[in-house]
Amino acid sequence: MRGFGLEIEKNDKEFLTVLAFFAVLCMSRFYDHALYSHPAPFSILQSYYVVVLATAVYYAALFVFYIVCVGKTLRFNKKLMYYLVALCSVFTFPMFLQANYFGSMDVYAWFFTLMGICLIVLEHGEWLVVLYGLLSACICPMFVFGGGCLLLVFLFYQRCIKEEKKYGCMLLAFILAEAVGFLVSYVRGSFSMDVQMTVSLRNFVLMMVLMSPYLLMSIIYFQNLLRGAKKRMKMAYTVIFAGGIPSAAMYALRGDFARAFFYVFAYYVVTLLVLMAMRDEGAESGLMVLKNKILQWVPIPAIVVVYPFLFMTLWISGAHELIVETVLGQ
Amino acid sequence: MTMHGEEKKENRIFFILLGMFAVVCVLRYYDHFIVSVNTTVFAFSYELGFISRGLPGTALRVLNSLLPYDFMSYDGIGLVSKAVTFLFFVILFWFYAVCLKKCTERMYKEARYLILFLSIFTFPMFLSAENFGRLDVYLLSIVILSCILVLYEKWEWLIVPLSVVAMLIHPGYVFMDINLLLVLLLYKVLSVPREKRKKYIVLLAVTFLVVSVLFLYFEFFSHPQDTEIYEEIVATAKSLSDNGQNYHDHLINHDILGQNVFWDEWDWHIVNFIEFPIFLILFSPYIYLIGRFYWNLIKKEQERTRRFAYIFIVMGAGTLLPEMVLKTDYGRYMFALIFYYIACVLILLALGDEGATMRVKELTGFLRNNMTLSIFLIMYAFLFVPFRDFHISDVLEEFYDMIIIYLPYRAL
């Protein structure tokens, strides 16, 4: 671990062990034991055991990502990092266990994205990100707007803070790779969007209203982030902020509101984790301000992490239990 | 005990958030369905004699005759159940407010966390198909209301008629709910000045006597054992069900015919045998924390009478043991257990008990030092809710499904 500059302490190990146990229980709680058909470039990717394996690999990639984030974070920010990891897990653990999303190509693309982010954070073998971009675009073309954006914005961020030419080249190569991946999937005929109508528009709007405090928090956070930043950094932060919009907008427009909901939150929480892992001073101070505001406003701050759990399981329990059916009748 | 502006404001925000949480829980967990055990019970009434669980059905018939709405139907039971569940939430919030108001200012934060933790289990409990409209919601409301009266020290004599009503609703009150009230009364007996003690001794004795007599009567002498009545109840129960056909035969066999249904429920016992040990393992972080709290509470108490009261509080949950041995609804029993132990801590804080205050402070100090535990303490609980009936929760059911296929016995 030390070779990568990771500092994993006893507390970190304890936290990650408990998180692993929590993940196992999440699998037991949310796994639907059902595999629906999803557009896939190769039929083998839709075989049940391959999907189970892919989901396990996705979980492993998540844990590698968490280890990198926790290991890279400064010691006095660790507690905050734990809470962020917990919040991220609230979204990422149950999502691809539910019948509608279990076996979707997103898990493969997320694997490549998380690995790519780890390489960017560790500053080791970053050129592999280009290959990951190509592979994820080939397997799940629409992911270009989701995880692809994540990799793209962090390459751009590195270009802004490091001012090294290689990041500029990487950025261009990555865009090219994504375009090639897009084209390959188009030529191969696997260019179809995996849309799951699990949540209705009314549900989505209601969920967004109930989740609006988080919108307020993200606005406060990015306001603080931009406030003291230099011009170049302001540009980097603005790109990071804007990066979450394409995936959410695309899925919302196509009617896959559950995915839109997931992508918008997963994107911004992963962004926070990465910025903290990269020891970005603006991000750290912005998060401190936000934390103080939460402590000031919310008498039980733990609820900020726990509350989204109710929503992540919302569509998982089946259409008859959805929020709108309760409010507006069947 | 006076609240400063700042704390008062924080408590107000807390209750707004808790209210929102309750609303979201209702939206999330409410199943829009009543299972047959909760409709069949309304087929019982005092028209058939002074039988066990006769009050809800009798009240429904009275409502039916007084109001221009068909209460003797599945929808009618649904409406009553909704009203009672709403009332339960109101009483629960009242209880929380009383506890928070009565506890010392330095314990507000801890009390709020306890309330949130308790709510994670309590809010969804009576919303799922298995437990929506279950008589437990009536009993829990009554016991909470009784505790509020004792905490306020007003109209405490009302706990006797309230206990009678609870027994008429469901004799299981003796096992699942009254322990909270009895230990509170006992605590009062052992802790109040001599001039007040007599009142609590009388209340404790009368309540205990009344529920015991009623329990013995309902258990041994209230079964009509009449096949005509049986047929009539089955017909009514069917008419009250969702599809006009469902009814719960075990319930009628036990309460009307006086049959022992232990072996009829053997499949469910198997579920319990498998799920309960796993539950104990998965729930061990909470068991450890609660155990640690009560162990220190007893061990570190110098005063003999108070220590005696604490021992009674710990042993109070023992009333659930007969249910756990003879019956099968471990989901309900585990909820009752959790509710009992957490509510006891809240009540002790509300009573300003010095020992409990110090032990809670110690526990929060321990949690603060164990960052991981404190982060997952609330999150982890979410995986278990809502508790069901014979299946404790969905997580446990998953484990059960995994294990049962390797056993030679084929249960449900």
- Looking at this predicted complex, what is its ipTM? 0.81
- Measured between beta carbons, which residues in chain B are less than 8 angstroms from residue A82? 371-372, 375
At B30, the pLDDT band (50, 70, 90 cuts) reads: confident
Amino acid A320: pLDDT: 39
Asked whether the predicted pLDDT for residue B6 surpasses 80, the reply is no
Mean pLDDT, residues A230-234 taken together: 87
Mean pLDDT, residues A164-182 taken together: 91
3-state secondary structure of B27: helix
- A278 phi and psi angles, rounded to 5 deg: -85, 0
Radius of gyration (C-alpha) of chain B in whole angstroms = 22
- How much is the mean pLDDT over chain A? 85
Give the closest-approach CA distance of B42 to chain A in angstroms: 25
- Measured between beta carbons, which residues in chain A are less than 8 angstroms from residue B113? 300, 302
pTM of the model: 0.89
A310: nearest CB among B14, B28, B30 = B28
Asked whether the predicted pLDDT for residue A230 surpasses 80, the reply is yes
Amino acid B59: pLDDT: 95
- Measured between beta carbons, which residues in chain A are less than 8 angstroms from residue B31? 321
Q: Which two tokens stand for residue B272?
A: 């319990």
Asked whether the predicted pLDDT for residue B227 surpasses 70, the reply is yes
**Interchain pair B375, A305: CB under 8 A:** yes
**Interchain pair A25, B394: CB under 8 A:** no
Give the closest-approach CA distance of B113 to chain A in angstroms: 7
pLDDT tens digits along B293-338: 999 999 999 889 999 999 999 999 999 999 999 999 999 999 999 9
Task: Tell the burial category of A57 from Cβ atoms under 10 Å away from its Cβ (0-12, 13-18, 19+).
Answer: middle
A121, B180, B182, B310 from B150: Cα distances, Å? 59, 11, 11, 18
> Is B240:B74 a contact under the CB 8 Å cutoff?
yes
**Interchain pair A300, B379: CB under 8 A:** no
Q: Which two tokens stand for residue A21?
A: 């146990």
**Interchain pair B116, A314: CB under 8 A:** no
Give the closest-approach CA distance of A320 to chain B in angstroms: 8
Other beta carbons within 10 angstroms of residue B318's beta carbon come to 11
Q: Tokens 């409209």 belong to which residue?
A: B133
Asked whether the predicted pLDDT for residue B5 surpasses 90, the reply is no
Other beta carbons within 10 angstroms of residue B115's beta carbon come to 23
Greater model confidence, A4 or B353: B353
Chain A's closest residue to B127, CA to CA, is A321
Greater model confidence, B408 or A64: A64
pLDDT tens digits along B148-204: 999 999 999 999 999 999 999 999 999 999 999 999 999 999 998 888 899 999 999
Amino acid A238: pLDDT: 92
B116: nearest CB among A22, A29, A300 = A300
Asked whether the predicted pLDDT for residue A328 surpasses 50, the reply is no
Express as a percent the part of chain A with pLDDT over 90: 34
Q: Domain ranges in chain A?
A: 2-328
pLDDT tens digits along A86-133: 999 988 998 888 888 898 899 999 999 999 999 999 998 889 999 999
At A321, the pLDDT band (50, 70, 90 cuts) reads: very low
Least confident of B61-70, B97-106, B245-254: B245-254
Amino acid A114: pLDDT: 94
Express as a percent the part of chain B with pLDDT over 70: 98
What is the number of alpha carbons within 13 Å of residue A85 lying toward its C-beta?
31
> Is B53:B170 a contact under the CB 8 Å cutoff?
yes
Mean pLDDT, residues A280-284 taken together: 90
B116: nearest CB among A11, A303, A327 = A303
pLDDT tens digits along A5-36: 788 888 899 999 999 999 998 888 888 788 88
Nearest CA-CA partner of B100 in B117, B113, B87, B89: B113
A22: nearest CB among B28, B31, B380 = B380
Amino acid B4: pLDDT: 65
**Interchain pair B375, A297: CB under 8 A:** no
At A239, the pLDDT band (50, 70, 90 cuts) reads: very high
Asked whether the predicted pLDDT for residue A326 surpasses 60, the reply is no
Residues ≥6 apart with Cβ < 8 Å to A255? A195, A197, A201
At B105, the pLDDT band (50, 70, 90 cuts) reads: confident
Nearest CA-CA partner of B56 in B33, B32, B26, B76: B76
Mean pLDDT, residues A241-248 taken together: 89
**Interchain pair B28, A309: CB under 8 A:** no
Residue to substitute from A17, A26, A28, A97, interface B, most B β-carbons within 10 A: A28
Express as a percent the part of chain B with pLDDT over 90: 64
Whether the bond between A39 and the residue before it is cis, its omega within 30 degrees of 0, is no
Greater model confidence, A305 or B141: B141
Beta strands in chain A (DSSP E): none
**Interchain pair A18, B376: CB under 8 A:** yes
At A324, the pLDDT band (50, 70, 90 cuts) reads: very low
Asked whether the predicted pLDDT for residue B382 surpasses 70, the reply is yes
Mean pLDDT, residues B114-134 taken together: 93
- Measured between beta carbons, which residues in chain B are less than 8 angstroms from residue A34? none
Mean pLDDT, residues B389-406 taken together: 87
Asked whether the predicted pLDDT for residue B283 surpasses 70, the reply is yes
Asked whether the predicted pLDDT for residue A2 surpasses 70, the reply is no
| A13 touching chain B per CB within 8 A | no
Residue to substitute from B21, B25, B375, interface A, most A β-carbons within 10 A: B375
pLDDT tens digits along A42-82: 888 888 999 999 999 999 999 999 999 999 999 888 989 99
Least confident of B135-144, B202-211, B233-242, B371-380: B371-380
Q: Which two tokens stand for residue B220?
A: 């041994």
B30: nearest CB among A300, A314, A326 = A326
Amino acid B146: pLDDT: 96
Nearest CA-CA partner of A198 in A115, A122, A101: A101
If you write DSSP's letter for every residue of A186-216 in order, what string do you get?
Answer: HHTT---------S-HHHHHHHHHHTHHHHH
Least confident of A279-283, A313-317, B254-258: A313-317
Mean pLDDT, residues A237-265 taken together: 88
Chain A's closest residue to B25, CA to CA, is A310
At A323, the pLDDT band (50, 70, 90 cuts) reads: very low
**Interchain pair B109, A299: CB under 8 A:** yes
Radius of gyration (C-alpha) of chain A in whole angstroms = 19
User: Count of H helices and E strands in chain B?
Assistant: 20, 0
Asked whether the predicted pLDDT for residue A204 surpasses 90, the reply is no
A306: nearest CB among B14, B378, B395 = B378
Separation between Cα atoms, residue A263 and residue A92, nearest integer Å: 10
**Interchain pair A303, B378: CB under 8 A:** yes
Task: Tell the burial category of B365 from Cβ atoms under 10 Å away from its Cβ (0-12, 13-18, 19+).
Answer: exposed
Amino acid A3: pLDDT: 65
A300: nearest CB among B27, B113, B376 = B113
Amino acid A330: pLDDT: 40
Q: Which two tokens stand for residue B241?
A: 């069900």
Asked whether the predicted pLDDT for residue A196 surpasses 90, the reply is no
A79: nearest CB among B28, B371, B399 = B371
Mean pLDDT, residues B207-232 taken together: 87
Asked whether the predicted pLDDT for residue A162 surpasses 90, the reply is no
- Interface residues of B toward A, Cβ cutoff 8 Å, are 10-11, 13-14, 17, 21, 24-32, 109, 112-113, 116, 282, 371-380, 382-383, 394-395, 398-399
